[in-house]
Amino acid sequence: MRLSAFFFLLASLLVFLLDFVFPFKAIAIAPVEQWGATSPDYLSEWDLFYIQNNTLLPGKGVYVYTVETPLFSDYAGKLRTITLPQGETVRVLDDGSIDFPNGTILSKTFYYPRFIAHHKSVNIKESGTGHIVVGREPADKQIVVSLDLTKYVLIETRLLVKRHHQWEPLVYQWPIHSDQAESQRHFQRDARLMMAGALHPMQMVDRGESESFHYSVPDKFQCAECHGGFHKENQIEPLGLYAYQLDTDVLIDSLAEVPEESIAVNQWEHWQRLGLLEELPGKHSRWLINSPGALLKDQSGVEREVVQQKARQYLQANCAHCHNRNGTAQNSGLFLELTENNPYVLGVCRRPTAASSGTFGHDFNIQPGRAEASILYLRMVSRNPQNMMPELGRDLIDQPGSELIRQWIEVMENMDCNQN
């Protein structure tokens, strides 16, 4: 055995023993006011998480949650948490938005399953050294309450901290290494505050095939491009946290009477039991979408309406932070918010404001009944940085999301856009 390998194994054994003998304990979260206008250099100083037995766990007073329609981030899994100041609760406003008290901390930890090839049939592309090989996280409504670091690799943890009625974005990056050996889990003990972004070359293995991509960690200023998209003053706010997004049934292990089983509960009701919410939101504030029914084909059944509702929610979560009247894409005239009810503004028979390669030789953002001729859909299934949408936050194609938009366009009533 080489001397360097001996010392590496010795160090790994020492970390392993310390984890059991002196585990990180869950303690009450430090109040936001403790840091004043500054932020700690390491994520652990917030006391949001602790590591015990090689498992990342939320700290005391830190609650996990999920959303109905998540933002696509190259198939990364997300551990979401909310922390409120002691004695404070959130309030749902009449328009479906949520009012968070000062001192609130929202966190989102991005992760992938570690990939370990068990047989030679897996096609790992020869893409050079330094690539991190990961699996694909399945999408379901099971709330992730902890992460086993022997099974998952952490990429980054993003925070939104509310101080003096304003949200501040912070990005903490976990140390990652291309060597996927099990011993590498000991490197992920803490995440460090980063002002600059990062680009990680990765390979995703799914169903025996692999695909190369670059995972992009945003810098602090890029956060404002999306989170400030709904305000003229670029005032930062949480994305996706509306009443309808949290009004979903989730699977909770701790509420089940039978071990290793889960029970489905409404998330708003769960928040109320946890003391995060005083009053359940009424139906009027759950953001019933404005979907012009005239877009849909005149046929029996409600399946087409379900497709439209899910498609509109997807566009709200993934596109509307830019495509709104105050967003960075306001000059496009293509506005994709749930509250929009004008088919032309939603892109139906609307020509793009600028001709470029991003039109793929077609004339309209949405050609009803023909997804293959609709620019909106074609930009979603492109990986060319010059014409793909969204521009930020993804390198891979969102296959389920783009298929949903294709179905939505296909169930629209056919029309000749040149006659309109």
**Which tens digit of pLDDT belongs to each residue from 167-207?**
999 999 999 875 544 444 557 889 999 988 899 999 998 87
| Count, residues in the chain | 420
pTM of the model: 0.84
The verdict on residue 5 lying in a domain is no
Closest to 137 measured CA to CA, from 201, 206, 189, 71:
206
At 327 the pLDDT is: 86
**In 233-272, which ranges are E strands?**
249-252, 263-266
Q: Which two tokens stand for residue 370?
A: 């023909």
Q: Which two tokens stand for residue 297?
A: 């084909």
At 24 the pLDDT is: 44
Number of domains in the chain: 2
Alpha-carbon distance of 370 to 83, in angstroms, equals 45
Alpha-carbon distance of 167 to 170, in angstroms, equals 10
- Sole residue written with tokens 């179905």: 407
132 and 270 co-located in one domain: yes
Alpha-carbon distance of 312 to 337, in angstroms, equals 8
Q: Which of 243, 274, 305 is the last residue of a domain?
A: 274
What's the whole-number mean pLDDT along residues 49-70? Answer: 93
249 and 314 co-located in one domain: no
270 and 326 co-located in one domain: no
What's the whole-number mean pLDDT along residues 102-115? Answer: 94
Q: Which domain holds residue 298?
A: 289-419
What's the whole-number mean pLDDT along residues 108-135? Answer: 66
What's the whole-number mean pLDDT along residues 297-311? Answer: 74
The verdict on residue 190 lying in a domain is yes
Residue 15: is its pLDDT beyond 90?
A: no
Residue 141: is its pLDDT beyond 70?
A: no
315 and 268 co-located in one domain: no
Angle separating helix axes 303-318 and 399-410, nearest 10 degrees: 130
Strands of the sheet containing 147-148, edge to edge, are 49-52, 55-58, 147-148
CB-based contacts of 238: which residues, under 8 Å, 6+ apart?
A: 98, 100, 106, 160, 167, 227
Q: 210 phi and psi, to 5 degrees? A: -120, 155
Alpha-carbon distance of 121 to 124, in angstroms, equals 9
Helices (H) and strands (E) in the chain, counts: 7, 16
Task: Confirm if 144 and 81 have CB atoms less than 8 A apart.
Answer: no
409 and 375 co-located in one domain: yes
User: How does pLDDT run across 339-387, given as a tens digit for each residue?
Assistant: 898 999 999 999 998 656 678 889 999 999 999 999 999 999 999 988 8
State whether residue 217 is helix, strand or coil. Answer: strand
Alpha-carbon distance of 61 to 81, in angstroms, equals 10
Residue 222: is its pLDDT beyond 90?
A: no
At 203 the pLDDT is: 92
Q: Which residue has the higher pLDDT, 128 or 331?
A: 331
Q: Which of 221, 242, 274 is the last residue of a domain?
A: 274
Closest to 385 measured CA to CA, from 238, 220, 230, 199:
199
Give the β-pairing of 132-135 and 198-206.
parallel
181 and 300 co-located in one domain: no
46 and 116 co-located in one domain: yes
The verdict on residue 361 lying in a domain is yes
Neighbours of 103 (CB within 10 A): 17
pLDDT bin (cut points 50, 70, 90) of residue 13 is: very low
- Residue 100's Cα: distance from chain center in Å? 19
Give residue 413's region: left, alpha or beta (phi > 0; psi -120 to 50). Answer: beta
DSSP β-bridge partners for residue 364: 374
Establish whether the linkage from the previous residue to 390 is cis, with ω within 30° of 0: yes
DSSP 8-state code for residue 202: E
Alpha-helical (H) ranges within 22-157 are none
